[in-house]
């Protein structure tokens, strides 16, 4: 039900003194997830590391390493996030989330070719994944690569998730890069209506229109 604060209150009451190693790892897993969702990242890292260190459940270890990489990305520790994900990849695990996160990290580190490669691999696993579509489309237009393909990918992402402000922003920017200023203005305005406080959307609006961003609805 996504009531993480209430779940956490109940979980901390659990006495795991008589638990098996596997059961204690399961308890630590859910405590780690709750702390992650609530933004208690230091606490989350402690519990997630506990699960990994037991080595009892390969799937749980995979999930915890993905959660760790998420925390490291959020807290701008991109090298540590990359380390966790590369360990997973070398272990033989593949997933769309793994490759899209690696792509994002590569993009943040200005490694354009790696970002493109990782997004392509994510789409090979799931051609309808909107995160990969939007990410690849944005990188293509931002780096003046295949502008038309970038536009098509961004449009597909918006078609699938029409209320996503980040995707609207990417589509608006792609339209601008392809010379369609009117459409760019329309999509960026829609993005601002949903997420008026997002700096990147505001910056794109200023570049496209030469105006200060309007307030969201």
* pLDDT value of position 10: 97
Domain assignment present for residue 89? The answer is no
Q: Give the domain extent around 17.
A: 1-78
* Residues 103, 45 share a domain: no
* Residues 211, 149 share a domain: yes
* Residues 121, 45 share a domain: no
Residue 94 has pLDDT above 80, yes or no: yes
Residue range 171-187: mean pLDDT, rounded: 98
3-state secondary structure of 137: helix
Domain assignment present for residue 37? The answer is yes
Q: How many CB atoms lie within 10 A of CB 164?
A: 19
* Residues 205, 117 share a domain: yes
Tell me the pLDDT of the chain averaged across its residues: 94
CATH number, domain containing residue 207:
1.25.40.10
* Interval 99-109: pLDDT, tens: 999 999 999 99
Alpha carbon distance, N-terminus to C-terminus of the chain:
28
* Residues 119, 194 share a domain: yes
* Residues 117, 197 share a domain: yes
In 3D, which of 202, 95, 207 has the Cα closest to residue 70?
95
Residue range 78-101: mean pLDDT, rounded: 92
Residue 216 has pLDDT above 80, yes or no: no
pTM: 0.83
In 3D, which of 99, 96, 21, 16 has the Cα closest to residue 57?
21
Which of 78, 112, 140 is where one domain is finished? 78
Domain assignment present for residue 85? The answer is no
* pLDDT value of position 92: 86
* Residues 33, 108 share a domain: no
Share of the chain above pLDDT 90, in %: 89
For the ranges 47-61, 78-92, 199-213, the one whose mean pLDDT is highest: 199-213
Residue 24 has φ and ψ, to the nearest 5°, of -65, -35
Give the separation between CA 167 and CA 169, rounded to whole angstroms: 5
* pLDDT value of position 58: 85
Helices and strands (H and E) in the chain: how many: 12, 0
Residue 89 burial class via C-beta count within 10 angstroms: exposed 0-12, middle 13-18, buried 19 and up? middle
* Residues 74, 101 share a domain: no
Domain assignment present for residue 86? The answer is no
Give the separation between CA 134 and CA 155, rounded to whole angstroms: 8
* pLDDT value of position 43: 97
* Interval 21-47: pLDDT, tens: 999 999 999 999 999 999 999 999 999
Domain assignment present for residue 88? The answer is no
* pLDDT value of position 55: 78
* Interval 112-138: pLDDT, tens: 999 999 999 999 999 999 999 999 999
* Residues 201, 149 share a domain: yes
Give the separation between CA 52 and CA 58, rounded to whole angstroms: 9
Q: What is the dihedral of CA 119, 125, 127, 130, to 10 degrees?
A: -60
Give the separation between CA 122 and CA 152, rounded to whole angstroms: 17
Give the separation between CA 61 and CA 165, rounded to whole angstroms: 33
Give the separation between CA 46 and CA 28, rounded to whole angstroms: 9
* Residues 185, 126 share a domain: yes
Share of the chain above pLDDT 70, in %: 99
Indicate the pLDDT class of residue 93, thresholds 50, 70 and 90.
confident
* pLDDT value of position 215: 67
* pLDDT value of position 82: 93
Domain assignment present for residue 87? The answer is no
Domain assignment present for residue 196? The answer is yes
With tokens 């078609």, the residue in question is 159
* Residues 74, 99 share a domain: no
Q: State how many domains the chain has.
A: 2
Residue range 190-204: mean pLDDT, rounded: 96
Which of 46, 78, 110 is where one domain is finished? 78
* Residues 104, 42 share a domain: no
In 3D, which of 14, 76, 3, 87 has the Cα closest to residue 47?
14
Which of 78, 104, 124 is where one domain is finished? 78
């Amino acid at each position: 039900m996504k009531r993480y604060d209430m779940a956490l209150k109940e979980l901390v009451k659990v006495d795991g003194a008589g638990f098996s190693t596997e059961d204690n790892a399961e308890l630590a897993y859910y405590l780690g997830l709750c702390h992650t969702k609530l933004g208690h990242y230091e606490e989350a890292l402690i519990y997630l590391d506990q699960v990994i260190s037991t080595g009892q459940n390969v799937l749980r270890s995979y999930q915890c390493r993905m959660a760790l990489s998420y925390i490291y990305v959020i807290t701008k520790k991109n090298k540590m996030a990359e380390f966790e994900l590369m360990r997973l990849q070398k272990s033989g695990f593949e997933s769309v989330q793994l490759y899209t996160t690696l792509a994002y990290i590569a993009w943040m580190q200005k490694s354009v070719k790696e970002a493109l490669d990782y997004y392509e691999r994510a789409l090979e696993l799931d051609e309808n994944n909107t995160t990969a579509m939007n990410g690849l489309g944005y990188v293509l237009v931002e780096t003046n690569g295949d502008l038309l393909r970038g536009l098509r990918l961004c449009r597909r992402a918006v078609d699938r998730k029409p209320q996503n402000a980040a995707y609207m922003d990417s589509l608006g920017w792609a339209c601008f890069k392809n010379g369609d200023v009117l459409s760019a203005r329309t999509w960026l305005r829609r993005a601002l209506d949903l997420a008026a406080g997002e700096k990147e959307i505001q910056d794109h609006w200023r570049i496209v229109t030469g105006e200060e961003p309007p307030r969201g609805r």
